[in-house]
Structure 1
Amino acid sequence: MDDIVCRPARPHELAAVAELRWRWVQELYGTPDTTLEEFVPRFVAWAREAESSHRCMVMVRDDVVIGMAWLAITRRVPHPRVFERMSGDVQCTYVLPEERDRGLGGKLIEAVLAWARDLGLERVTVHSSHRAVSAYSRHGFKVSSRLLQAEVGQGRAG
C-alpha cells in the first residue's frame, strides 16, 4: 500500500474520476442511461463548475486513479460567536472492485476527514451504503439522534 497516494484530484484526472462514477452506477444499478462517452465530458464540465462546493479526493497508484471520494462543502448560517461556518458531506466514495477489502476505503475516508479539518469544517456527514457503514464507523462517524433526513426527490441516483 506504500505506492498508493490520496490527494486532491488534478484537473487532468477528472475524466478518470468520471469513469469511476460511471462504473459505480453500472455496478450498483446496471447499465446507465447514458454511454460512458456521453457521461465523461458532461461530468468533467460539472466538476469544473462545482469545484468551489464539491472537491474530489483521489486515490492514485502509479498515476492511475483507483478510488475517489467527494467532499461537498456547504456554508452555514452565521452564528454570533462564529460568523464563518461550513460543514461537509462525504459523497461518492468508491474504490475499484479489484482493489477492495484491503483498507483502501478507510485510507480515503481518513484523507477526506483530514481535508475537512484543514478547511475548518464544523462537521462532516455521510449517507453510506450498508457495506461501508462499518468503515465510516471505524473512522469516527457516529449515528446522531439529531441528524434527520427527508427523501424529497424522485431520482434514482446513488
Structure 2
Amino acid sequence: MDDIAIRPVRAGELPAVAELRRRWVQEVYGTTHTTVEEFAPQFVAWAQKNESSHRCMVLLRDEVVIGVAWLAITERVPHPRVFERTSGDVQCVYVTPDERGRGLGGELIKAVLAWASDLGLERVTVHSSDRAISAYSRHGFEVSPNLLQFNVGQGRPE
C-alpha cells in the first residue's frame, strides 16, 4: 500500500470527488440524470460552501482519487455539564469498483474516525448500505436501540 494515501481533500481534487459521487449514484440507481459537466461545478460549489460542516477525506493511488468519505459535523444542543457538543455522521463512503476487496474502504473508515476523534466529536453515526454494515461493525460501529429514524418523504404518521 505504499502508493496509497488518505488525507483531507484539496480544492483541486473536488471535481474528481464529484465524479466519484456521480459514479456511486450510477451504480446504485442506474442513472444520474446529469452529465459530469453539469454536476461537477454545482458539486464543487456546494462542497466549498459547506466545508465547515462537511469534511471530505480522499483515498489516492499515485495521486489519483480512487475513494472518498465525508464527515458531516453537527453542533448539538448544549447542556449544563458539556456546553460545546458536536456529533458526526459518516456519509458517501465510496471506493472505485476496481479497487474494492483490498481493505481500502476500511482504511477510509479508520481515517474518518480518527478525524472525528481529533475534532472531539461526541459520537459518529452512519446510515449504511447492507453491503457495508460488516465493514462499519469491524471498526466499532454498533446498532443502537436509541437511534431512530423518520423518513420525511414518506409523509406523516396518522
Report the alpha carbon displacement of residue 62 of structure 1 after superposing the two structures with TM: 1.0
Q: In the alignment, residue 126 of structure 1 is paired with which amino acid?
A: V
Q: Over residues 71-126 of structure 1, what are the superposed CA-to-partner deviations in whole Å (9 max), with x where a residue is unaligned? A: 00000001111111000000000000000011000000000000000000000000
Q: Note the 1:1-158 alignment, pairs <5 A.
A: 1-153=1-153
Report the alpha carbon displacement of residue 15 of structure 1 after superposing the two structures with TM: 0.4
- Distance in 1 between residues matched to 2:132 and 2:24, nearest whole Å: 14
TM-score after normalising by structure 1: 0.96
Secondary structure at the aligned position of 2:70 is classed as strand
Q: Over residues 16-68 of structure 1, what are the superposed CA-to-partner deviations in whole Å (9 max), with x where a residue is unaligned? A: 00000001101111121111110000000000000010000000111100000
% of aligned pairs identical? 77
- Distance in 2 between residues matched to 1:58 and 1:113, nearest whole Å: 14
Matched residues, number = 154
Structure 1's consecutive aligned runs of 4 or more residues displaced over 3 angstroms after TM superposition are none
Secondary structure at the aligned position of 2:152 is classed as coil
TM-score after normalising by structure 2: 0.96
Secondary structure at the aligned position of 1:72 is classed as strand
| Most deviating of 29-38 and 96-105 | 29-38
- Distance in 2 between residues matched to 1:82 and 1:5, nearest whole Å: 35
Q: In the alignment, residue 69 of structure 2 is paired with which amino acid?
A: A
Cα-Cα RMSD = 0.8
- Distance in 1 between residues matched to 2:59 and 2:130, nearest whole Å: 22
Secondary structure at the aligned position of 2:137 is classed as helix
